Structure 1
Amino acid sequence: MIQSFISVVIPVYNDLPALKEAVPLTLKMMDDVFSGFEIIIAEDASTDGSTECAASWQEKDSRIIHLHRDQRLGRGSALTTAALQAKGDIFCYFDVDLATDMSYLPQLIRAVTDGADIATGSRLLSDSNITRSLGREVKSRGYNWLVRFILRSRLKDHQCGFKAFNKDKLLSLLPEIKDTHWFWDTEVLVRAQRKGYVIEEIPVIWREGPGTTVKSQDIWKMGRSILNLWWKLHVP
Protein backbone atom coordinates (compact mmCIF):
# COMPACT_ATOMS: atom_id res chain seq x y z
CA MET A 1 0.00 0.00 0.00
CA ILE A 2 1.32 3.45 -0.94
CA GLN A 3 1.91 5.48 2.22
CA SER A 4 2.06 9.05 0.85
CA PHE A 5 -0.96 11.27 1.38
CA ILE A 6 -2.63 11.72 -2.01
CA SER A 7 -4.78 14.59 -3.25
CA VAL A 8 -7.00 13.36 -6.08
CA VAL A 9 -8.75 16.03 -8.12
CA ILE A 10 -11.72 15.50 -10.42
CA PRO A 11 -12.43 18.61 -12.54
CA VAL A 12 -16.15 18.93 -13.28
CA TYR A 13 -18.29 21.15 -15.49
CA ASN A 14 -21.84 19.99 -16.20
CA ASP A 15 -20.84 16.32 -15.89
CA LEU A 16 -23.58 14.99 -13.60
CA PRO A 17 -23.97 11.44 -15.03
CA ALA A 18 -20.20 10.90 -15.12
CA LEU A 19 -19.74 12.41 -11.65
CA LYS A 20 -22.29 10.02 -10.14
CA GLU A 21 -20.21 7.09 -11.38
CA ALA A 22 -16.74 8.54 -10.84
CA VAL A 23 -16.96 9.37 -7.14
CA PRO A 24 -17.85 5.90 -5.76
CA LEU A 25 -15.37 4.21 -8.13
CA THR A 26 -12.62 6.62 -7.04
CA LEU A 27 -13.41 6.05 -3.37
CA LYS A 28 -13.16 2.29 -3.79
CA MET A 29 -9.87 2.51 -5.68
CA MET A 30 -8.33 4.86 -3.11
CA ASP A 31 -9.50 2.77 -0.16
CA ASP A 32 -8.02 -0.38 -1.68
CA VAL A 33 -4.58 1.04 -2.51
CA PHE A 34 -3.77 4.19 -0.54
CA SER A 35 -3.43 4.72 3.20
CA GLY A 36 -4.36 8.41 3.21
CA PHE A 37 -6.11 10.58 0.65
CA GLU A 38 -8.53 13.35 -0.12
CA ILE A 39 -10.76 13.66 -3.17
CA ILE A 40 -11.29 17.20 -4.42
CA ILE A 41 -14.21 17.79 -6.76
CA ALA A 42 -13.16 20.97 -8.58
CA GLU A 43 -16.57 22.00 -9.88
CA ASP A 44 -16.62 25.01 -12.15
CA ALA A 45 -20.03 26.75 -12.01
CA SER A 46 -22.06 23.79 -13.22
CA THR A 47 -25.76 24.24 -13.94
CA ASP A 48 -26.88 20.61 -14.44
CA GLY A 49 -26.98 19.39 -10.83
CA SER A 50 -23.27 18.61 -10.53
CA THR A 51 -23.01 21.28 -7.81
CA GLU A 52 -25.62 19.60 -5.64
CA CYS A 53 -24.20 16.13 -6.30
CA ALA A 54 -20.69 17.20 -5.27
CA ALA A 55 -22.04 18.95 -2.16
CA SER A 56 -23.93 15.82 -1.11
CA TRP A 57 -20.78 13.71 -1.41
CA GLN A 58 -18.91 16.19 0.76
CA GLU A 59 -21.60 15.85 3.43
CA LYS A 60 -21.43 12.04 3.32
CA ASP A 61 -17.63 11.60 3.45
CA SER A 62 -15.12 13.87 5.20
CA ARG A 63 -12.42 12.82 2.72
CA ILE A 64 -14.31 14.52 -0.12
CA ILE A 65 -13.91 18.26 -0.64
CA HIS A 66 -16.19 20.22 -2.96
CA LEU A 67 -14.66 23.32 -4.50
CA HIS A 68 -17.45 25.31 -6.18
CA ARG A 69 -17.23 28.52 -8.17
CA ASP A 70 -20.19 30.69 -9.11
CA GLN A 71 -18.52 31.81 -12.35
CA ARG A 72 -16.96 29.46 -14.88
CA LEU A 73 -13.25 30.26 -15.03
CA GLY A 74 -11.95 27.21 -16.91
CA ARG A 75 -10.66 23.70 -16.26
CA GLY A 76 -7.03 24.78 -15.89
CA SER A 77 -7.98 27.48 -13.43
CA ALA A 78 -9.96 24.91 -11.42
CA LEU A 79 -6.91 22.61 -11.29
CA THR A 80 -4.69 25.49 -10.14
CA THR A 81 -7.16 26.40 -7.39
CA ALA A 82 -7.31 22.78 -6.27
CA ALA A 83 -3.51 22.46 -6.22
CA LEU A 84 -3.19 25.54 -4.00
CA GLN A 85 -5.62 24.04 -1.49
CA ALA A 86 -4.56 20.39 -1.69
CA LYS A 87 -2.99 18.85 1.41
CA GLY A 88 -1.34 15.87 -0.25
CA ASP A 89 2.33 15.19 -0.91
CA ILE A 90 1.23 14.02 -4.35
CA PHE A 91 -1.31 15.86 -6.46
CA CYS A 92 -3.07 13.93 -9.20
CA TYR A 93 -6.09 14.39 -11.39
CA PHE A 94 -8.10 12.56 -14.00
CA ASP A 95 -11.07 13.36 -16.20
CA VAL A 96 -14.48 12.73 -14.69
CA ASP A 97 -15.56 10.48 -17.58
CA LEU A 98 -12.86 7.98 -16.52
CA ALA A 99 -11.74 7.59 -20.13
CA THR A 100 -8.41 6.34 -18.78
CA ASP A 101 -8.66 2.95 -17.09
CA MET A 102 -8.53 3.56 -13.33
CA SER A 103 -6.40 0.46 -12.76
CA TYR A 104 -3.40 2.55 -13.87
CA LEU A 105 -3.77 5.04 -11.03
CA PRO A 106 -1.47 3.18 -8.58
CA GLN A 107 1.24 2.95 -11.26
CA LEU A 108 0.84 6.65 -12.04
CA ILE A 109 1.27 7.66 -8.41
CA ARG A 110 4.01 5.14 -7.72
CA ALA A 111 6.07 6.73 -10.49
CA VAL A 112 6.09 9.94 -8.45
CA THR A 113 6.81 8.24 -5.14
CA ASP A 114 9.73 6.50 -6.88
CA GLY A 115 11.30 9.82 -7.91
CA ALA A 116 9.56 11.31 -10.94
CA ASP A 117 8.46 14.92 -10.60
CA ILE A 118 5.51 14.31 -12.93
CA ALA A 119 3.87 11.15 -14.25
CA THR A 120 1.43 11.38 -17.13
CA GLY A 121 -0.71 8.89 -18.95
CA SER A 122 0.09 8.62 -22.64
CA ARG A 123 -2.27 7.43 -25.36
CA LEU A 124 0.48 7.52 -27.98
CA LEU A 125 2.97 5.00 -26.61
CA SER A 126 3.26 1.68 -28.41
CA ASP A 127 1.98 -0.25 -25.37
CA SER A 128 -1.14 1.91 -24.98
CA ASN A 129 -4.55 0.52 -25.91
CA ILE A 130 -6.75 3.25 -27.36
CA THR A 131 -10.26 3.31 -28.79
CA ARG A 132 -11.47 6.55 -30.36
CA SER A 133 -12.85 7.96 -33.58
CA LEU A 134 -10.58 8.52 -36.57
CA GLY A 135 -11.25 12.25 -36.48
CA ARG A 136 -10.22 12.57 -32.87
CA GLU A 137 -7.16 10.38 -33.45
CA VAL A 138 -5.97 12.59 -36.31
CA LYS A 139 -6.54 15.79 -34.30
CA SER A 140 -4.70 14.40 -31.29
CA ARG A 141 -1.68 13.21 -33.24
CA GLY A 142 -1.53 16.45 -35.19
CA TYR A 143 -1.75 18.55 -32.06
CA ASN A 144 0.95 16.60 -30.22
CA TRP A 145 3.23 16.73 -33.28
CA LEU A 146 2.89 20.54 -33.30
CA VAL A 147 3.76 20.72 -29.59
CA ARG A 148 6.87 18.61 -30.15
CA PHE A 149 7.89 20.52 -33.29
CA ILE A 150 7.17 24.09 -32.18
CA LEU A 151 7.72 23.86 -28.42
CA ARG A 152 10.45 21.18 -28.57
CA SER A 153 8.73 18.86 -26.15
CA ARG A 154 10.15 15.37 -25.81
CA LEU A 155 6.82 13.82 -24.76
CA LYS A 156 4.39 11.87 -26.91
CA ASP A 157 1.05 12.92 -25.39
CA HIS A 158 0.40 16.21 -23.62
CA GLN A 159 -3.37 16.31 -23.19
CA CYS A 160 -4.22 13.00 -21.56
CA GLY A 161 -6.26 13.94 -18.48
CA PHE A 162 -4.44 11.52 -16.20
CA LYS A 163 -1.49 13.07 -14.38
CA ALA A 164 0.32 13.02 -11.02
CA PHE A 165 2.79 15.53 -9.58
CA ASN A 166 5.19 15.98 -6.74
CA LYS A 167 3.08 18.76 -5.27
CA ASP A 168 5.99 20.95 -4.19
CA LYS A 169 7.38 20.87 -7.73
CA LEU A 170 3.96 21.72 -9.15
CA LEU A 171 3.52 24.64 -6.76
CA SER A 172 6.86 26.09 -7.84
CA LEU A 173 5.67 25.89 -11.44
CA LEU A 174 2.18 27.33 -11.07
CA PRO A 175 3.14 31.05 -11.01
CA GLU A 176 4.37 30.65 -14.60
CA ILE A 177 1.23 28.92 -15.89
CA LYS A 178 -1.02 31.38 -17.70
CA ASP A 179 -3.60 29.20 -19.43
CA THR A 180 -6.88 28.67 -17.59
CA HIS A 181 -8.57 26.04 -19.75
CA TRP A 182 -7.59 22.96 -21.81
CA PHE A 183 -4.07 24.09 -22.76
CA TRP A 184 -3.12 24.06 -19.04
CA ASP A 185 -1.95 20.42 -19.34
CA THR A 186 0.40 21.17 -22.21
CA GLU A 187 1.79 24.36 -20.70
CA VAL A 188 2.58 22.57 -17.44
CA LEU A 189 4.48 19.81 -19.23
CA VAL A 190 6.39 22.14 -21.55
CA ARG A 191 7.46 24.50 -18.78
CA ALA A 192 8.35 21.56 -16.52
CA GLN A 193 10.70 20.17 -19.18
CA ARG A 194 12.41 23.54 -19.49
CA LYS A 195 13.06 23.44 -15.73
CA GLY A 196 14.58 19.96 -15.99
CA TYR A 197 11.78 18.14 -14.19
CA VAL A 198 11.79 14.36 -14.46
CA ILE A 199 8.64 13.35 -16.36
CA GLU A 200 7.56 9.74 -16.85
CA GLU A 201 5.01 8.78 -19.49
CA ILE A 202 2.89 5.71 -18.72
CA PRO A 203 1.03 3.66 -21.35
CA VAL A 204 -2.67 3.36 -20.55
CA ILE A 205 -5.93 1.88 -21.70
CA TRP A 206 -8.13 4.74 -22.90
CA ARG A 207 -11.66 4.69 -24.30
CA GLU A 208 -13.42 7.62 -25.92
CA GLY A 209 -16.69 8.36 -24.13
CA PRO A 210 -20.05 9.14 -25.76
CA GLY A 211 -19.50 12.89 -25.35
CA THR A 212 -16.73 15.40 -24.69
CA THR A 213 -16.55 18.95 -23.40
CA VAL A 214 -13.67 19.67 -25.81
CA LYS A 215 -15.29 21.69 -28.60
CA SER A 216 -13.99 22.64 -32.05
CA GLN A 217 -13.32 26.17 -30.88
CA ASP A 218 -11.21 24.76 -28.03
CA ILE A 219 -8.99 22.99 -30.58
CA TRP A 220 -8.42 26.21 -32.53
CA LYS A 221 -7.71 28.07 -29.30
CA MET A 222 -5.18 25.43 -28.29
CA GLY A 223 -3.45 25.79 -31.66
CA ARG A 224 -3.13 29.50 -31.06
CA SER A 225 -1.98 28.76 -27.53
CA ILE A 226 0.97 26.74 -28.89
CA LEU A 227 2.17 29.77 -30.84
CA ASN A 228 1.46 32.09 -27.93
CA LEU A 229 3.51 29.96 -25.54
CA TRP A 230 6.39 29.79 -28.05
CA TRP A 231 6.34 33.61 -28.16
CA LYS A 232 6.40 33.89 -24.36
CA LEU A 233 9.28 31.44 -24.09
CA HIS A 234 11.46 32.91 -26.82
CA VAL A 235 10.70 36.62 -27.13
CA PRO A 236 11.83 38.85 -24.26
Structure 2
Amino acid sequence: LKVTGYEKNQGKGYAVRFGMLEAKGDFRLFTDADNSTSIDQIEKMWPYFEKGCDIVFGSRDVKGAILDPPQSLFRRFLGEGFGFLTNSIVGTWGIADSQCGFKCFTKKATEDIFPRCKINRFAFDPEFFVIAKKLGYKIKEIPIYWRNDPESKVKFKWMVNMGLDLFKIRLNLIKGVYD
Protein backbone atom coordinates (compact mmCIF):
# COMPACT_ATOMS: atom_id res chain seq x y z
CA LEU A 1 0.00 0.00 0.00
CA LYS A 2 1.28 3.42 -0.97
CA VAL A 3 -0.21 6.59 0.48
CA THR A 4 0.08 9.59 -1.80
CA GLY A 5 -1.58 12.94 -2.20
CA TYR A 6 -1.27 16.60 -3.05
CA GLU A 7 -1.56 19.90 -1.17
CA LYS A 8 -4.59 21.84 -2.40
CA ASN A 9 -8.13 20.52 -2.99
CA GLN A 10 -8.59 20.63 -6.75
CA GLY A 11 -11.92 18.82 -7.03
CA LYS A 12 -13.22 15.26 -7.18
CA GLY A 13 -12.29 14.80 -10.84
CA TYR A 14 -8.71 15.82 -10.19
CA ALA A 15 -8.50 13.52 -7.14
CA VAL A 16 -9.81 10.49 -9.03
CA ARG A 17 -7.56 11.17 -12.03
CA PHE A 18 -4.54 11.58 -9.74
CA GLY A 19 -5.29 8.33 -7.90
CA MET A 20 -6.00 6.30 -11.03
CA LEU A 21 -2.71 7.40 -12.60
CA GLU A 22 -0.76 6.76 -9.39
CA ALA A 23 -2.19 3.22 -9.15
CA LYS A 24 -0.04 0.45 -10.62
CA GLY A 25 -2.38 -2.53 -11.03
CA ASP A 26 -3.58 -4.18 -14.23
CA PHE A 27 -7.13 -3.19 -13.19
CA ARG A 28 -7.93 0.09 -11.46
CA LEU A 29 -11.16 0.67 -9.59
CA PHE A 30 -12.53 3.78 -8.01
CA THR A 31 -15.53 3.82 -5.73
CA ASP A 32 -17.40 6.34 -3.62
CA ALA A 33 -15.99 6.81 -0.12
CA ASP A 34 -19.41 6.25 1.49
CA ASN A 35 -19.32 2.60 0.34
CA SER A 36 -22.72 2.95 -1.33
CA THR A 37 -21.54 0.10 -3.56
CA SER A 38 -19.79 -2.66 -1.63
CA ILE A 39 -16.41 -3.80 -2.91
CA ASP A 40 -17.80 -7.34 -3.37
CA GLN A 41 -19.68 -6.02 -6.43
CA ILE A 42 -16.35 -6.14 -8.27
CA GLU A 43 -16.89 -9.89 -8.74
CA LYS A 44 -19.63 -9.08 -11.28
CA MET A 45 -17.09 -7.20 -13.40
CA TRP A 46 -14.50 -9.93 -14.05
CA PRO A 47 -16.48 -11.90 -16.65
CA TYR A 48 -16.73 -8.78 -18.80
CA PHE A 49 -13.01 -8.08 -18.56
CA GLU A 50 -12.41 -11.71 -19.56
CA LYS A 51 -14.58 -11.05 -22.65
CA GLY A 52 -12.37 -8.12 -23.64
CA CYS A 53 -14.03 -5.10 -22.05
CA ASP A 54 -11.75 -2.21 -21.17
CA ILE A 55 -14.10 -0.41 -18.79
CA VAL A 56 -16.80 -1.99 -16.63
CA PHE A 57 -18.92 0.18 -14.39
CA GLY A 58 -21.81 -0.18 -12.01
CA SER A 59 -25.18 1.29 -12.78
CA ARG A 60 -28.27 2.11 -10.77
CA ASP A 61 -30.31 2.52 -13.95
CA VAL A 62 -30.06 -0.77 -15.81
CA LYS A 63 -32.29 -3.81 -15.39
CA GLY A 64 -31.28 -5.86 -12.37
CA ALA A 65 -29.90 -2.97 -10.30
CA ILE A 66 -31.05 -2.87 -6.69
CA LEU A 67 -31.33 0.43 -4.81
CA ASP A 68 -31.84 0.03 -1.08
CA PRO A 69 -33.91 2.02 -0.21
CA PRO A 70 -35.16 3.31 -3.57
CA GLN A 71 -34.31 6.90 -4.46
CA SER A 72 -36.96 9.59 -4.06
CA LEU A 73 -38.93 10.62 -7.12
CA PHE A 74 -37.11 13.99 -7.07
CA ARG A 75 -33.64 12.34 -7.06
CA ARG A 76 -34.67 10.00 -9.89
CA PHE A 77 -35.93 13.01 -11.85
CA LEU A 78 -32.62 14.85 -11.29
CA GLY A 79 -30.60 11.80 -12.31
CA GLU A 80 -32.61 11.13 -15.45
CA GLY A 81 -32.55 14.82 -16.35
CA PHE A 82 -28.78 14.99 -15.96
CA GLY A 83 -28.39 11.81 -17.99
CA PHE A 84 -30.48 13.22 -20.84
CA LEU A 85 -28.61 16.54 -20.70
CA THR A 86 -25.26 14.73 -20.70
CA ASN A 87 -26.19 12.51 -23.63
CA SER A 88 -27.56 15.47 -25.59
CA ILE A 89 -24.57 17.77 -25.04
CA VAL A 90 -21.61 15.38 -25.19
CA GLY A 91 -23.04 12.33 -26.96
CA THR A 92 -22.69 9.62 -24.34
CA TRP A 93 -25.77 7.80 -25.66
CA GLY A 94 -25.85 4.20 -24.47
CA ILE A 95 -24.63 5.06 -20.96
CA ALA A 96 -27.55 5.10 -18.55
CA ASP A 97 -25.78 6.08 -15.31
CA SER A 98 -22.51 7.95 -15.80
CA GLN A 99 -22.54 9.22 -12.20
CA CYS A 100 -22.54 5.91 -10.30
CA GLY A 101 -19.23 5.90 -8.43
CA PHE A 102 -18.14 2.29 -9.02
CA LYS A 103 -15.94 2.01 -12.09
CA CYS A 104 -13.08 -0.26 -13.10
CA PHE A 105 -10.60 0.22 -15.96
CA THR A 106 -7.83 -1.84 -17.46
CA LYS A 107 -4.34 -0.44 -17.05
CA LYS A 108 -4.18 0.44 -20.76
CA ALA A 109 -7.52 2.27 -20.72
CA THR A 110 -6.56 4.16 -17.56
CA GLU A 111 -3.21 5.28 -18.92
CA ASP A 112 -4.72 6.30 -22.26
CA ILE A 113 -7.88 8.06 -21.05
CA PHE A 114 -7.11 9.80 -17.75
CA PRO A 115 -4.16 11.95 -18.93
CA ARG A 116 -6.49 13.45 -21.57
CA CYS A 117 -9.11 14.50 -18.98
CA LYS A 118 -9.41 18.20 -18.19
CA ILE A 119 -12.48 18.46 -15.93
CA ASN A 120 -11.63 18.62 -12.22
CA ARG A 121 -15.11 18.62 -10.73
CA PHE A 122 -18.10 16.29 -10.72
CA ALA A 123 -18.63 16.16 -14.51
CA PHE A 124 -15.36 14.26 -14.94
CA ASP A 125 -17.28 10.98 -15.40
CA PRO A 126 -18.99 12.04 -18.64
CA GLU A 127 -15.65 13.38 -19.85
CA PHE A 128 -13.80 10.09 -19.53
CA PHE A 129 -16.71 8.25 -21.16
CA VAL A 130 -16.53 10.69 -24.09
CA ILE A 131 -12.80 10.07 -24.41
CA ALA A 132 -13.18 6.29 -24.06
CA LYS A 133 -15.83 6.19 -26.79
CA LYS A 134 -13.76 8.45 -29.04
CA LEU A 135 -10.75 6.14 -28.64
CA GLY A 136 -12.85 3.01 -29.28
CA TYR A 137 -12.65 1.37 -25.87
CA LYS A 138 -15.12 -1.41 -25.10
CA ILE A 139 -17.42 -0.29 -22.26
CA LYS A 140 -19.90 -2.38 -20.24
CA GLU A 141 -22.52 -1.06 -17.81
CA ILE A 142 -23.69 -3.62 -15.25
CA PRO A 143 -26.41 -3.65 -12.58
CA ILE A 144 -25.21 -3.31 -9.01
CA TYR A 145 -26.54 -3.32 -5.48
CA TRP A 146 -26.44 0.28 -4.31
CA ARG A 147 -27.12 1.42 -0.76
CA ASN A 148 -29.00 4.70 -1.04
CA ASP A 149 -28.41 7.36 1.61
CA PRO A 150 -31.68 9.33 1.75
CA GLU A 151 -29.82 12.11 3.60
CA SER A 152 -27.43 12.64 0.68
CA LYS A 153 -27.87 16.07 -0.85
CA VAL A 154 -27.25 17.56 -4.28
CA LYS A 155 -26.55 21.28 -4.15
CA PHE A 156 -27.98 23.51 -6.88
CA LYS A 157 -24.54 25.09 -7.34
CA TRP A 158 -23.09 21.63 -8.14
CA MET A 159 -25.77 21.05 -10.78
CA VAL A 160 -25.02 24.40 -12.44
CA ASN A 161 -21.27 23.69 -12.40
CA MET A 162 -21.83 20.24 -13.88
CA GLY A 163 -23.93 21.73 -16.65
CA LEU A 164 -21.21 24.28 -17.42
CA ASP A 165 -18.60 21.52 -17.43
CA LEU A 166 -20.65 19.57 -19.98
CA PHE A 167 -20.40 22.54 -22.32
CA LYS A 168 -16.63 22.66 -21.69
CA ILE A 169 -16.43 18.98 -22.67
CA ARG A 170 -18.43 19.70 -25.84
CA LEU A 171 -16.11 22.60 -26.69
CA ASN A 172 -13.07 20.38 -26.04
CA LEU A 173 -14.53 17.82 -28.46
CA ILE A 174 -15.00 20.46 -31.14
CA LYS A 175 -11.47 21.81 -30.62
CA GLY A 176 -9.92 18.32 -30.79
CA VAL A 177 -8.51 18.48 -27.26
CA TYR A 178 -9.13 14.74 -26.72
CA ASP A 179 -7.46 13.56 -29.95
TM category, shorter: 0.7 to 0.9
**Which whole-Å CA distance do the structure 2 matches of 1:188 and 1:214 have between them?**
22
**Which whole-Å CA distance do the structure 2 matches of 1:214 and 1:172 have between them?**
31
CA contact (8 A) 2:71 2:150 kept: no
Gaps of 5+ in 2: none
Aligned match of 2:107: 167
| Aligned-pair CA distance for 1:73 | 1.2
The number of residues matched between the two structures is 173
CA contact (8 A) 2:21 2:110 kept: no
Distance 1:212 1:72, change over 3 A: farther
CA contact (8 A) 2:21 2:114 kept: no
Q: TM-score when scaled to structure 2?
A: 0.87
Aligned match of 2:82: 143
Aligned match of 2:120: 180
**Cα deviation code 1:132-184 (max 9, x no counterpart):** 22221111111011122222212111111000001222111123200112111
**Cα deviation code 1:17-74 (max 9, x no counterpart):** xxxxxxxxxxxxxxxxxxxxxxxxxxxxxxxxxxxxxxxxxxxxxxx43333332111
| Aligned-pair CA distance for 1:203 | 0.6
- State whether structure 2 residue 43 is matched by structure 1 residue 73: no
- Aligned pairs for 1:1-236 within 5 A: 64-130=1-67, 131-153=70-92, 154-212=94-152, 214-235=154-175
| Aligned-pair CA distance for 1:219 | 1.3
| Aligned-pair CA distance for 1:103 | 3.1
**Which whole-Å CA distance do the structure 2 matches of 1:90 and 1:213 have between them?**
31
| Aligned-pair CA distance for 1:198 | 0.2
**Which whole-Å CA distance do the structure 1 matches of 2:108 and 2:153 have between them?**
30
| Aligned-pair CA distance for 1:113 | 4.1
**Which whole-Å CA distance do the structure 2 matches of 1:235 and 1:207 have between them?**
39
| Aligned-pair CA distance for 1:102 | 3.4
Aligned match of 1:21: none
Which structure exhibits the higher relative contact order, with contacts defined as CA atoms closer than 8 Å and separated by 6 or more residues? 2
| Cα-Cα RMSD | 1.9
Give the percent of matched residue pairs that are identical in Structure 1 and Structure 2: 29
Gaps of 5+ in 1: 1-63
CA contact (8 A) 1:101 1:204 kept: no
**Which whole-Å CA distance do the structure 1 matches of 2:153 and 2:10 have between them?**
14
Partner AA of 2:128 in structure 1: V
Larger Rg: 1
Moved over 6 A (4+): none
Partner AA of 2:14 in structure 1: S
Q: TM-score when scaled to structure 1?
A: 0.67
CA contact (8 A) 1:109 1:164 kept: no
Aligned match of 1:9: none
